[in-house]
Amino acid sequence: MRERSWAYFIVGSAVFVAAGSLLGETGIGAAIVLIAVGSACAAWLGGRWWSQPDHVPFRLYATGALLFSAGTIVRELLAGFDIVNSPNVADLIDASGYIAMILATLRLVQKRTKGLDPTNLLDSLVAVGGVAVPMWIFVILPFTRHSSISVGDRSVELVFTVLSLVLFGAFCRLAIGPGARNISYYMLAIGGGATVALEVSAGVGLAADSSFVANTFFPLLFGAVGFTLLGAAALHPQVRELTESATEPVVHITHARFALLCGAIVTPPIVMLADRHLVRAMLEEGVIIVCWMIIAVMVIVRLAGVARGWERARNIERILSRAAARLASSTEHSHMTDAAFSAAHQLANSDRTRISYVSYRSNVWSIERSEGWQAERVGATVDLDSPALRAALDETRSTGLIYSAAPDFPGEEEWWTAAPMMSRGSLLGLLVAVAPDPLGPSFPDALANLATDFASALDTAMLAEQMHRARVERRFRALIEHSDDIVIVVSAGGTASFSSPAASRLLGLSDDDLRSTPIVNLAVPEHRAQFSELIATAASKPAPREIRLESTNGTTYWFEIVVADVRSDPEIDGIVVTARQIDDRKAAELQLAASEARFRGLVQHGSDVVAVVDHHGFVNYISASVTRVLGHEPHELVGHELSSLVHPDDRLALTALLFRLSTDPSAPHRAELRMAGGRGEWRTLDLTMTDLTTDPAVNGVVVNAHDVTERKALEQDLRHQALHDALTGLPNRVLFRDRVQQALDRRGTGSVVVMVIDIDDFKTINDAVGHAIGDNILHVLGLRLEQHLRAGDTLARLGGDEFSITVEDGSNRETVASVARRILEEVRIPITYEEHEFVLDASIGIVYSEDCDRPDPEIMMRNADMALHAAKSRGKGRFVVYDSAMHSGVLERLELKGDLVRAVENDELVLYYQPIVSLRTRRITGFEALMRWNHPERGMVSPGSFISLAEETGLIVPMGRWLFDAAFSQLAKWRVDHEVTMSVNLSPRQLDAANIVDDISSRLVTHGLDPSWVTLELTETGLVDGGSINHARLEAIRALGVKVAADDFGSGYASYAALAQLPYTGVKIDMSLVQALEGPGSEKAQAQVRSLCEMAKALGLTVVAEGVEAGEQASLLITLGCDFAQGYYFSPPVAAQDADHLVEHGLQALKRR
């Protein structure tokens, strides 16, 4: 559509013109105005569509067209008010239009010429002068003498005439200047000329008092054509080339420019002859004027011939200069010949020209190359019998143009010239040009100059080649003399005619010894026959042989020997024997063979399966361990596709693995796939594929397969435990958060609802009947609440007595309210356990996604918690829906943040210490330092109220430094007489601090502590994803000798994979898991604790259980494999002075108190 828009514009303008003609003078004016406005729009659109290098010219053209349209409209409006005198506003607008058009054309000329046409301005001024004469005679003078036209009208018309002349001059510069000449260019040139003609026709009409010429036909013709072609030029795709700079300068007078100059010169006398009044007054002078015109034309023709001769000389000079540059930069003979032949063809400037290069070597003439007209007829012989050619060779000059048998093809007469190629007084050959027509008088001399440059370039190249050959010979001699390889030339008699110094260095043989001893005797007796055969078959280029040679002292060495038959070279005339010592390689080969045998044993008897497959997946080799791992015999699998063993659901993963390997063969690639066992079971194998197809010893893809079936089963179980509550089996907080996010992603225009349910006063039940019965009640509650879920809803236990429900489609709030009521009614149904009956109640906080500023799981759960607190504050046993007013409670949290900043500065932080006890000896082995905040107004604030604030604000870093100082100082005091350790909590936010390692190291040194006495417990938020931990920094801390433990393990947050990924030395079982060891579901909790202990011990980790509150729990932990514990059963966290007492007297001291 865009490519043809210019044609549509022309057709549309023609339609406007036709319609305007039908409507008379008013229609004509309206048509021109509409076409001018359309032309302006086209100029703007063309600049946007075709990405012109310079948008300014056509934007100025658009401005000019708009100004012309505005001038016409304003003039009509003034005429309606009987304002017809000039000058007026319409005249000023029209003059501005002319100026815009002039500036646009000059800008276009400037962009196109770029200084490549210095005579452009002068030639254009000549053309303007030629046009100015008839304008003066036929327009300006009659107009100024017209008595019926006012002085103002005369002045205005004079200004417009001058502006039109300036615009004509600008278009002349564009027409004769360099640059692209395409359809857009010609439309612009014709359109510009029509615009100038518009003003000229108007002036002529006014001067002749012809309203028809001034107002009807010519404005319609020239105005419509001018603006139409201007817009079409802007829309044409070739417009982008108009503003591109010319690359070739204007060095000759073109036919168009010559015609323009001639026309400008003869225009004045033609005007004089055309004027009837002047003819009558100057009849006699007319003959003189005609003669003047004839003489002027002849002079111009003569000057043009001189100019063209100068241009030809310049062209020859430019061709020769370029050829000289190419010859100087060429380094190969063929490139030099290409440059000379290309220049010769350019000098001839004819397709019917043959160029030949005849070389002269050892008194023999031969044609090296010939191309062009009838080059296929050229023979190998050269005719030098021509007297002109012999004279030219004697005088080292060109032969000139000769019509006779050409030197490169005797027998047929043609026009030819030959130039000798001389360099440093030596004749290198001839450069011959042959054509059926004369080649021009300047061609022989030009060819002679080219031949001289060609000869110099060839001579320079030959000198460079000789120097290079000499350097190579010197380098080769130096390499032979200093090489560790032995080089011997064996003569026809079997002795050495030449030997390199390496023979003396390695074998102790002198040149005389080698010349008097058969070469084959250098080999040990068992290798002499092989050595003799190698030399005898040298002509057939045998493969290298490994042969042992013996030195004069009896020592034998391994050599790799290569022979080459060079007897055809008279300078050598023998068989070249090259011997390279390979004792190190032979030793390496023996070592490699031993290594391969050892590797083969490892592969055959290792626990992992090793296989080699091709890129199509077929097994070429598989180790015997496949029988132990999968129950298949190796011979059953060789030749079969590896995919035949893979589970159908995993075959796409195998294909992807092979594809990755093919696109990136430089690195190994891994995948876990299920593979069929011999007994029908599926085993999970960890496959590592390495592309060794380029290794000839392997020539395939090596597959290492490790059986991870048990590990995957354990991971699956642990993953379920990590995402589900151990007591109720319901999703835990992590899984619930994910379910909320999924619901938000799927909600569309609906609403997602989150309910947080808290059992009112449930702590009293735990205190009254114990946690075991309380856990059973929670388990029953979970089962009951599940009955009220709809498809897609999720029930989770967030911890303690807190549950949460997500409702995916909560658009009907009344439905949600009814669900909340049914939940409250279900909770209130009495629960009978043993002989007890429990009547419960609950509070519910509800939040809708649309009531949250930015609905995401965290914000919705936070807002639901706010609604829950509101429900409890209003009397419990009810549900409350979140609204924005509840957010005001967050302000208190903000105040707490501000107070926390001052707490660090005012030394309001204190440490409490909870002992860590050996479960078997009941002795205190260490303490955990727990931070407390002694708030001046709120009193003692627990860590749960301010640690999260400290992490959010970054204050955890300076608080951590204070804790390190206080805890390390206390530990140093205790270690004077007691062997205790200190555990300190470390958050991921502290670990992100750049100087955390230096902080810990410097404080260990300051307090004189052994790093092994200190354990840093990485808090639970850091265990959700091992990838979020700064591994490098944690490794650096571990490198200090400080121990690192995973805190709160089993809480649902911890990542089991992190135990293997991070440098942990211990793990701390979360108190929620410890509390679940008794009561309903205890078997599962016990199994989980046992597996944790076994896995930790397998990894070399110590295990500490926290939150032990009963002796039964402590006993169970011992049977489950746990070694250490802490909790209120042993001691609550105590102040420093009480901790001192515990250190001195043990746990018994606490019980006595």
3-state helix, strand, coil in the chain (%, to 5): 55, 20, 25
In this prediction, residue 1025 carries a pLDDT of 44
* Phi, psi at 652, each rounded to 5°: -65, -35
Winning range, highest mean pLDDT, from 194-198, 442-446, 811-815: 811-815
544 by Cβ neighbours in 10 Å (0-12 / 13-18 / 19+) ranks as middle
What is the predicted pLDDT for the residue at 961?
92
User: Is the domain 483-581 a CATH 3.30.450.20 member?
Assistant: yes
pLDDT at 1024: 44
Per-residue pLDDT averaged across 81-104, rounded? Answer: 79
**What per-residue confidence (pLDDT) applies to 280?**
45
CB 274 within 8 A of CB 228: no
State the burial class of residue 688 (Cβ atoms within 10 Å of its Cβ: 0-12, 13-18, 19+): middle
Residue type, 1050: G
Both structure tokens of 147? 């008595």
CB-count burial class (<10 Å; 0-12, 13-18, 19+) for 254: exposed
CATH class of 330-468: alpha beta
Question: What pLDDT, on a 0 to 100 scale, did the predictor assign at position 537?
Answer: 85
Q: What is the CATH number of domain 751-882?
A: 3.30.70.270
Q: Which helix (H) or strand (E) holds 158?
A: helix 151-176
Query: Which CATH code for domain 916-931+954-1146?
Result: 3.20.20.450
- The contacts of residue 990 (CB under 8 Å, 6+ apart) are 956, 957, 960, 996
Coil/strand/helix, residue 181: coil
Residues in the chain: 1153
Return mean pLDDT, the chain: 79
Alpha-carbon distance of 418 to 407, in angstroms, equals 8
- Provide the phi-psi class of 166: left if phi over 0, else alpha when psi is between -120 and 50, else beta: alpha
pLDDT digits (tens, 9 = 90+) for 668-703: 999 889 999 888 889 999 999 998 888 887 888 999
Higher pLDDT, 570 or 183: 183
pLDDT for res 211: 44
Please name the residue that has the structure tokens 């914000």.
Answer: 859
Q: Bridge-partner residues for 1125, per DSSP?
A: 917, 1105
Q: Going by DSSP bridges, is the β-strand pair 426-435/486-490 parallel, antiparallel, or unpaired?
A: unpaired
Q: With bands split at pLDDT 50, 70 and 90, how would you rate the model's confidence at 1038?
A: very high
The whole-number average pLDDT for the span 288-298 is 55
The CATH number fitting domain 590-707, selected from 3.30.230.70, 3.20.20.70, 3.30.450.20, 3.10.310.30: 3.30.450.20
Mean pLDDT, range 780-804, rounded to an integer: 88
User: Tokens representing 25?
Assistant: 């003078």
- In terms of Cβ atoms closer than 10 Å to its own Cβ (0-12, 13-18, 19+), residue 396 is middle
Q: Which two structure tokens, joined as six digits, stand for 115?
A: 């200084």
What proportion of the chain, given as a percentage, has pLDDT over 70? 78
CA distances from 830 to 170, 805, 837, 839, 1128 (A): 104, 22, 6, 5, 32
What is 451-464 written as a DSSP string? HHHHHHHHHHHHHH
Contact 807, 790 (CB under 8 A): yes
State the average pLDDT over residues 475-490: 73
For residue 696, give the 3-state DSSP assignment. coil
How crowded is residue 1055: how many other Cβ atoms within 10 Å of its Cβ?
22
Q: What is the DSSP string of 523-577?
A: B-HHHHHHHHHHHHTGGG-PPPEEEEEE-TTS-EEEEEEEEEE-TTSTTT-SEEE
By three-state DSSP, how is residue 754 classified? strand
Is 759 strand, coil or helix?
strand
The pLDDT value recorded for residue 282 is 46
Nearest to 1109 by CA among 1093, 1091, 1132, 1087: 1132
Q: 1031-1039 and 996-1006 helices cross at what angle (nearest 10)?
A: 20
Strands 1066-1069 and 1043-1049, by their bridges, are parallel
Q: What is the pLDDT of residue 910?
A: 93
| Cross-strand bridge partners of residue 558 | 548
State residue 1027's pLDDT score. 46
pLDDT at 1007 over 90: yes
Q: What is the pLDDT of residues 40-88, one digit of tens each?
A: 888 777 777 766 667 778 788 788 888 888 887 887 777 777 766 677 8
- Residue keyed to tokens 């040990």: 524
Q: What is the mean pLDDT of residues 844-872?
A: 89
Distance CA 561, CA 1145 (A): 86
In the structure encoding, which two tokens stand for residue 677, read together? Answer: 């066992």
Tokens of 620: 């070429």
555-561: long-range contacts, CB 8 A cutoff, minimum separation 24: 556/524, 557/506, 557/507, 557/581, 557/583, 558/582, 558/583, 558/585, 558/586, 559/486, 561/531, 561/534
CB contact at 8 A, 677 and 627: no
Give the Cα separation of 730 and 824 in Å (integer).
19
Closest CA to 675 of 684, 688, 665, 687: 684
Check if the beta carbon of residue 782 is closer than 8 Å to that of residue 802. no
Give pLDDT tens digits for 18-29. Answer: 777 777 667 767
Which tens digit of pLDDT belongs to each residue from 186-245?
A: 887 787 777 777 766 666 655 555 444 444 455 556 777 778 888 788 778 877 777 776
Q: What is the largest CA-CA distance in the chain?
A: 152
Structure tokens given for 121: 């301005």
CA distance 441 to 313: 12
Rounded to whole angstroms, how far apart are CA atoms 321 and 328? 11
Top mean-pLDDT range of 200-204, 485-489, 543-547, 910-914 = 910-914
Highest mean pLDDT among 599-608, 807-816, 820-829: 820-829
CA distance 162 to 393: 67
Averaged pLDDT, 711-735: 86
Using 50, 70 and 90 to split pLDDT, how confident is the model at 389? low
Position 680 scores a pLDDT of 83
The angle that helices 224-235 and 183-207 make with each other, rounded to 10 degrees, is 160
Token output for 1117: 């932990």
What are the residue ranges spanned by the domains of the chain? 2-248, 251-325, 330-468, 483-581, 590-707, 751-882, 916-931+954-1146
Q: Measured at the alpha carbon of residue 931, what is the angle toward residues 926 and 934, in degrees to the nearest 5? A: 135
CB 1005 within 8 A of CB 971: no
For 179, 242, 873, the CA distances from 248, given in Å and listed in that order, are: 9, 15, 91
Write out pLDDT tens, residues 512-524.
Answer: 887 888 888 888 9
Can you give the pLDDT at residue 304? 60
Phi and psi at 911, nearest 5°, equal -110, 135
* 66's tokens: 């708009």
Same fold, 330-468 and 916-931+954-1146: no
Question: Could you tell me the pLDDT band of residue 381, with boundaries at 50, 70 and 90?
Answer: low
Residue 385 has pLDDT above 70, yes or no: no
Model confidence over 1134-1146: pLDDT tens digits? 999 999 989 888 8
pLDDT(116) > 60: no
Predicted pLDDT of residue 1048: 83
Burial profile 469-505: b = 16 or more Cβ within 10 angstroms, e = fewer = eeeeeeeeeeeeeeeebbbbbbeeeebbbbbbebbbe
Q: Which two tokens stand for residue 387?
A: 């007297």
**Segment 117-176, tens digit of pLDDT:** 556 666 667 667 667 667 666 666 666 666 666 677 777 777 777 887 787 777 777 777
Has residue 914 got a pLDDT over 60?
yes
Phi, psi dihedrals of residue 367, rounded to the nearest 5°? -80, 115
Helix (H) / strand (E) element for 997: namely: helix 996-1006
pTM over 0.75: no
**DSSP H/E element including 446:** helix 443-482
pLDDT in tens, 1050-1072: 765 455 666 777 889 999 998 88
Instruction: Give the pLDDT mean for 831-860.
Output: 88
Predicted local distance difference test score (pLDDT) of residue 843: 94
* Residue 968 pLDDT level (bands cut at 50, 70, 90): very high
Alpha helices in 684-828 (DSSP H): 709-723, 733-746, 762-769, 771-786, 813-828
Report whether pLDDT(283) > 50: no
